[in-house]
Amino acid sequence: MEVLFLGSGGGRFATITQRKRTGGFRITFNKEIMQVDPGPGAILTSSELGLDPRRVTSLFVTHCHPDHYTDAEVVIEAMTYGMTRRRGVLLSVKSVLEGDGRIGPAISKYHRERVKESVMMEAGEEFSLGGYSVRATEAKHSDPYTVGFQLRGNKDWEILSYTSDTEYYRELEREHSGARVLIANVTRPGKDRIRWHLCTEDALRLADEIGPELMVVTHMGLKMIQKGPESECQRIEEETGVRTVPADTGLRVIIDKDSVSFKKMLPRQSSLLEFGGANPWIKNTTTKK
């Protein structure tokens, strides 16, 4: 199982300024490729990293906010080979697929009808996808239909969780229990908590309670970007013992039976991406199970 990040920014102002890209991420398992929350730039960044969006077999949009859905219809057009085939699975929620009178829908009926299967999910529901199960997890966000998910494979070591956008609540650890890799949307640094979102203090509690082999911090707002996510991740790691890294464009996480590792992909147009320096680099780090 592999995860490839197409961005690490989130929230209104990070999206507007593109201080960090906002393309979400892709999960590859066996022959399945799931695109998750393709916000602005997902298709462009895919191209720069040499990824073919036509290979995507499923799309998961967790809620109806632009930094999570703006490239979704283009992903569907790629997944269906230019709308010429009924192909792929669309997993999402009511606000995205139907709207609720206040927000959405974010994906047109025209696009929904071209996928092979469209599934509306609620927290607690599971869907089988190419031998893997996807369970929607509860999230508390301004879009009341928001969900995260936990992806489990045929083998007991293939477990990945994604919080999506949510504020901290007491049962959040239980929703993501057992995850070897936890992808957490952490918008603010320290205790600078805003409603509907996690801050570093919340992420620290999650890491301590769940104890994943690796936590990846993503969906960073401007304050997190300005503070420096590296120092925030270092604090989580020092206080919990959980290896914690900030997501970045091109970060690739590999989950094997005996280890979880990560490295940075080199883009075709590296000067356009935020690598934190003039020269792109590749870093390999492995955590033993």
Average pLDDT over residues 258-282: 57
pLDDT at residue 85 tops 90: yes
What was the pLDDT predicted at 287? 59
> Which of the four pLDDT bands, split at 50, 70 and 90, describes residue 154?
confident
Q: Residue 212 above 90 pLDDT? A: yes
Q: What does pLDDT average to over the chain? A: 92
- pLDDT > 80? residue 108: yes
Domains of the chain in start order, with CATH, are 2-288 (3.60.15.10)
What is the spatial distance between Cα 108 and Cα 180, in angstroms, rounded to a whole number?
A: 35
Mean pLDDT of 146-162: 94
The C-alpha atoms of residue 178 and residue 288 are separated, in whole angstroms, by 16
Q: Name the band, by pLDDT with cuts 50, 70 and 90, for residue 285.
A: low
CA 109 to chain centre: 24
Please state whether the peptide bond connecting residue 66 to the residue before it is cis, i.e. omega within 30 degrees of 0.
Answer: no
| Bigger pLDDT: 106 vs 270 | 106
Look at residue 144 in the predicted model and tell me its pLDDT.
97
The DSSP secondary structure of the chain, one letter per residue, reads: -EEEEEE-B-SHHHHHHTSS-EEEEEEEETTEEEEE---TTHHHHHHHTT--GGG--EEE--SS-HHHHTTHHHHHHHHTTTTTS---EEEE-HHHHT--SSS---S-HHHHTTSSEEEE--TT-EEEETTEEEEEEE---SSTT-EEEEEE-SSTT-EEEE--S----TTHHHHTTT-SEEEEEEEESTT---TTSEEHHHHHHHHHHH--SEEEEE-B-HHHHHH-HHHHHHHHHHHH--EEEE--TTEEEEE-SSEEEEEEPPPTTGGGS--SSSS-----EEEE-
pLDDT of residue 159: 96
Query: What residues contact residue 249 under an 8 Å CB cut-off, 6+ apart?
Result: 5, 6, 7, 8, 20, 21, 23, 45, 49, 267, 273, 274, 275
* Out of 24-38, 203-217, 229-243, 265-279, least confident range: 265-279
pLDDT of residue 286: 56
Task: Please report the pLDDT score of residue 278 as a whole number.
Answer: 32
Q: What is the mean pLDDT of residues 57-64?
A: 98
Question: Residue 273: is its pLDDT beyond 80?
Answer: no
- The whole-number pLDDT of residue 266 equals 64
The strands making up 2-7's β-sheet, listed across from edge to edge, are 117-120, 89-92, 58-60, 32-36, 22-29, 2-7, 251-255, 259-264, 285-288
**Can you give the pLDDT at residue 30?**
85
